[in-house]
Structure 1
């Protein structure tokens, strides 16, 4: 036993901190399964492009964007109509179109149709596209989104876009905006006093192989942190999408995506507060949650 431990200490190897779920399979945020063979991305980048701190965003097309806007739900779900969501959908359609995306807006889809829509999108040829974007506007729970008929795991929707599944998007940004509740808690906020003071390589080869993680290059922007309600105004739309639309309109072509989303967080946190006649729901706050597996900076520079 001591000899084995000694050998492990002196060997220069990478080992997991914990045993994976099985000997051959681990799936941190999706349900990736072991595949035979080694998948290879269908888009080739130069070494300079691959090792750049910025994603290559000068392909012929910006890429596909899908907006799923669920407003009315089957009676058996007992879910309220999401008034104001059409304004969110229109705002996102306008902003994404301005950034050069080819946008498809889908209204009131069942869970199976949501899954099928995204599966078809992942099967498209994305070799000439910079990236992919998807916005889902619906009711939700932590880890799930509602179709108009039933819940669907968010991970199931992202699975087809992983680098080892969608080879033409491998190494490219996959961006998801999710406007939905993630629980039933309210954020009471906290009062704060604010003072009123004024080259990796010398020679670039023609072709080489570089392995990347299948889970890489995703950004998932949730409207709220896990466990909490996400707020929506019946006239103006959701707090999160209002802020996102405003930031994309003003800075979408000049700031990198993570900086944009930090601005969105600031607006939602500071500008919005619930104002209702129900004391248990009044003066509540909200903060979005940005989960990034991006490996580079995303700039939607004009084409």
Structure 2
């Protein structure tokens, strides 16, 4: 009972509503007494400042792109976002796995399969979700589900070959029915509006080494148009293409936030948008430029 209360409190402190991970049917590893035993191969030494990004393969990039839904209007920007993201991830040596208009059960199976894969020779994993959203929920073709369920499937107890490696998630969830950000104008004083090395064993937390970048802050709209695609994915792809091999990913996402916040506003009422990034990364993450194969 005390252990259950402690776990519940820890989940509340994190504020992420994290699931136990079995929603996607990921098997647990247990010792002879039935207790969870999490042992994984060390990828980086305790004091290494950067993630090791020189494995044989970059890793898989799963793109769940949703254009059509059973109960919602279609996303006209879906194909633009998908093509932009696929192009830049190909350039970064990811093995891109596109999944279009899947049902929740199909999404569940793809995530379980990816979590059960041997990632020993991979730098990382990346999952992109391009869909409609409602608060902390995202839509598959037939129903909505908690986005937390996606990343909880890749904790070390369920996916040990990704332990100590970056797990990256991009969530573009168009949420036009939520709050709208009117923005706030800034101007200089006097201007008018018309003026122009330790190798010893060590433990890591279950939710270390995750990065989740959202297109907007909770409860606020995420905007897009059919020609340019979504503001977030367009800005993300431009920054990845420009700086992914030289900048730390967290710094790069700061510039993505700047692009979205400054360069865009809705045509009708001038609404604005700001991105939101949740990170438990423990090292610098850069997509090192080296020749490698993209699939295993």
Q: TM-score range by the shorter chain?
A: 0.7 to 0.9
Give the length in aligned residue pairs. Answer: 266
CA positional deviation for 1:156:
1.2
Alignment match, 1:64: 60
Q: Secondary structure at the match of 1:130?
A: coil
For 2:7 and 2:98, locate their aligned partners in 1 and report how far apart those are by CA, in whole Å. 39
Matches within 5 A, 1:1-303: 22-23=5-6, 26-27=10-11, 28=14, 29=16, 30-32=18-20, 36-41=35-40, 43-45=41-43, 47=45, 50-74=46-70, 77=71, 79-181=72-174, 184-194=178-188, 199=197, 201=198, 204=199, 208-276=200-268, 282-303=269-290
CA positional deviation for 1:192:
0.4
1:194-220 CA-partner distances (Å, limit 9, x unpaired): 479xx4x4xx5xxx4211000111100
RMSD: 2.0
CA positional deviation for 1:239:
0.3
TM-score normalised by length of structure 2: 0.85
For 1:67 and 1:214, locate their aligned partners in 2 and report how far apart those are by CA, in whole Å. 24
CA positional deviation for 1:63:
0.5
Alignment match, 1:11: none
Larger RCO, structure (CA 8 Å, separation 6 or more)? 2
For 2:188 and 2:256, locate their aligned partners in 1 and report how far apart those are by CA, in whole Å. 21
User: What stretches of structure 1 of length at least 5 have no aligned partner?
Assistant: 1-18, 277-281
For 2:38 and 2:102, locate their aligned partners in 1 and report how far apart those are by CA, in whole Å. 32
Checking the alignment, whether the CA contact within 8 Å between 2:168 and 2:212 is kept in structure 1 is yes
| Structure-2 change in CA distance of 1:24 and 1:69 (3 Å) | closer
Q: Which has the larger radius of gyration?
A: 1
For 2:44 and 2:278, locate their aligned partners in 1 and report how far apart those are by CA, in whole Å. 28
TM-score normalised by length of structure 1: 0.83
For 1:145 and 1:37, locate their aligned partners in 2 and report how far apart those are by CA, in whole Å. 30
For 1:178 and 1:234, locate their aligned partners in 2 and report how far apart those are by CA, in whole Å. 18
